[in-house]
Amino acid sequence: MITTEPRMTNLFLQLGLDASPAAIAAFIASHQLPTEVALVDASFWNDGQRQFLAEQLKSDADWAIVVDELGEALHEQAVKRATGL
């Protein structure tokens, strides 16, 4: 059971990634996804990370909100291109 507060920094720690603000920003900038690729289907996750993300989204609990925010951030450029914003 995960007992840490659901925040982006803690999500990155749960995923085994550098959770510094600069590292999070760099990860998001360098891992942008096309709109048709779901967050959990991204090729850069390992099996454990993918499973964690999928479980959190399925649970629709507090962590699902942060995972969804990460998904939005990773799709930001593709959405901007698609919408012309």
For the chain, the structural domain boundaries read 44-85
- Structure confidence by residue, pLDDT tens digits, 13-35: 999 999 999 999 999 999 999 99
Q: For residue 60, what pLDDT is reported?
A: 79
Ranges of the chain with pLDDT below 70: 1-4
Query: First and final CA of the chain: distance in angstroms?
Result: 40
Q: Retrieve residue 70's tokens.
A: 């990460």
Q: Name the phi and psi angles at 37, rounded to 5.
A: -100, 115
pLDDT attached to residue 49: 97
The pLDDT assigned to 35 comes to 93
Q: What is the pLDDT of residue 3?
A: 61
